Structure 1
Amino acid sequence: MRTNILITGASSGIGEGMARVWAEKGHNLALTARRLDRLEALQAELTAAHPGIRVVVHALDVTDADRVFEVVQKAGAELGGLDRVVVNAGLGKGGRIGTGRFEANRQTAETNFVAALAQCEAAMAHFYERRSGHLVVVSSVSAMRGMPGSMTTYAATKAGLAHLAEGIRSDLVNRKGHDIAVTTVYPGYIASEMNAQVEQKPKGMVDTETGSRALVAAIDAEKPEAIVPPWPWRPLSFVLRHAPLGLVRRMV
């Protein structure tokens, strides 16, 4: 059992949702995000509802790489080691390439990929030292294909993150004497703070609790990859991979 779990981006959305589900299952948690007040409120809620678990919280802007390494080390020391790290923190803003939205696209790229790289580095260093652990990266079904308009940079970062995880997984193939796993999850449309302002909800969107429970089930299975929820996103992901670009544009 992966008892001690660190989740980045845990102050809202699926990060917060997964924390609630794992707390129900008796896991100790290290929760990180920029908004410490939200984390402290969640910490109080979870420890009151589940007195047998430990919950520690740390303010963390994942674009501060030095702080990422510091927090992973501190959380590991507080909980007696980390068994699973969920690279979840992300950003969804952006604009069509060439329309003056470079700053927004840059922030998304730095948060979703460069900062995720720092989280993976810190987590894997910890796991290699312990010879055990589970790295989880939260990609997206949008990573299946280049996406148009405001989704272009976001989808590209999530595709890059998925390849990063696969490369790390490849490094483990011939290593002996360890219990280290790497899982990439590809969520479909799950309600969150990031998409709360979208007026027209995408087809197939599920509520945060449903999506979070599906993610936890997929992560606990520790398969290399999982599309969540499986329906309708598994068949739709196949279509996204192979459909002409004109059809992809109409789908999103």
Structure 2
Amino acid sequence: MPTLRKNIIITGASSGLGEEMARQFAAKGRNLGLCARRTERLDALKHELEQAYPGIQVLVKALDVNDHDAVFRVVEEFKQEMGYIDRFIVNAGMGKGVGIGKGGFHANKQTAMTNYIAALAQCEAAMAVFREQNAGHLVTISSMSAVRGMPGAMTAYASSKAGLESLTEGIRSDVLRKPIEVSCIMPGYIRSELNDKVKDTPFMIDTVPGVRAMVKSIEKEVPSAAVPWWPWAPLGFVMRRIPLTWMRKLF
């Protein structure tokens, strides 16, 4: 059985999937370290959670994950204040994108830097703590778009999430014989601020049930999970094998 992870850090917790994960883990009685750029939203979330679940501890800190020195400092501050970090969820991400060669390099670069380089910094900081503790659970939030190369505005985003999936597997391989668990969660289309302007998307589900599926997989500490399982696990199997011409029609 997986270890009960009492103290959980979530990056990008001021909105979307991170905010809802905070709510659902708080409901399970977990202590939370929440960080994001928008501290006013974090403060409101802290007040909400502590009012609803007075037995838990909620710490909040301002963090831009693209400030890599700040990532290491904030993780160390959480460790000092909480005493121990049981689980670290690399959730902060960005979805900007323009088709390659169409003048959108800066938007694509920003997405790649946030979703991969900043995620690398978070993994480095969290794993340093876990190696020192000789225990912990690293979780990265990738995407089902990582399964194949995606066209147009999705190209940079999908490739950054594919890099994150590969990074996570490499870390898992490195600590296979240690009491440190590593999971990559690959959501399908779950409604959030990242995609709230996207209309008529197939298989889109609301935030609460989508995050409930994510939390279930995180709690099981599986190496990798497509969430929700239906239709994304079977669809992922198909996506890896069909011609790109078919992929363009699906997405």
Provide the TM-score with structure 2 as the length reference. Answer: 0.98
Q: Deviation digits for residues 163-194 of structure 1, max 9, x if unmatched? A: 00000011112x3xx42100000000000001
1:90 and 2:89 correspond: no
TM-fit CA distance, 1:201: 3.2
1:124 and 2:127 correspond: yes
Q: Deviation digits for residues 34-82 of structure 1, max 9, x if unmatched? A: 0000000000000000000000000100000000001101011111111
In the aligned structure 1, how far is the partner of 2:7 from the partner of 2:207? 23
* Partner SS for 1:227: strand
1:7 and 2:10 correspond: yes
Corresponding position of 2:73: 70
Q: Deviation digits for residues 132-188 of structure 1, max 9, x if unmatched? A: 000000000000000000000000000000000000011112x3xx42100000000
* Partner SS for 2:247: helix
Corresponding position of 1:181: 181
Q: Deviation digits for residues 195-232 of structure 1, max 9, x if unmatched? A: 0112x231111111111111000000001001100011
Work out which of the residue numbers 164, 167, 178 in structure 2 matches 1:164.
167
Corresponding position of 2:107: 104
Corresponding position of 1:238: 237
Corresponding position of 1:50: 53
**Number of residue-to-residue matches in the alignment:** 248
Amino acid at match of 2:159: A
* Partner SS for 2:100: coil
In the aligned structure 1, how far is the partner of 2:50 from the partner of 2:60? 12
In the aligned structure 2, how far is the partner of 1:151 from the partner of 1:56? 34
1:136 and 2:139 correspond: yes
In the aligned structure 2, how far is the partner of 1:138 from the partner of 1:17? 14
* Partner SS for 1:5: strand
In the aligned structure 2, how far is the partner of 1:159 from the partner of 1:201? 25
Moved more, 155-164 or 73-82: 73-82
Work out which of the residue numbers 18, 38, 43 in structure 2 matches 1:40.
43
In the aligned structure 2, how far is the partner of 1:113 from the partner of 1:54? 30
1:213 and 2:216 correspond: no
Work out which of the residue numbers 21, 26, 32 in structure 2 matches 1:29.
32
Amino acid at match of 1:119: Q
* Aligned-CA RMSD value: 0.7
In the aligned structure 2, how far is the partner of 1:213 from the partner of 1:202? 20
* Partner SS for 1:155: helix
Corresponding position of 2:250: 251
* Partner SS for 2:101: coil
In the aligned structure 1, how far is the partner of 2:127 from the partner of 2:143? 22
TM-fit CA distance, 1:240: 1.0
Corresponding position of 2:20: 17
In the aligned structure 1, how far is the partner of 2:71 from the partner of 2:200? 33
In the aligned structure 1, how far is the partner of 2:189 from the partner of 2:30? 26
In the aligned structure 2, how far is the partner of 1:234 from the partner of 1:244? 18
Provide the TM-score with structure 1 as the length reference. Answer: 0.97
Structure 1 gap segments, 5+ residues each: none
In the aligned structure 2, how far is the partner of 1:188 from the partner of 1:201? 14
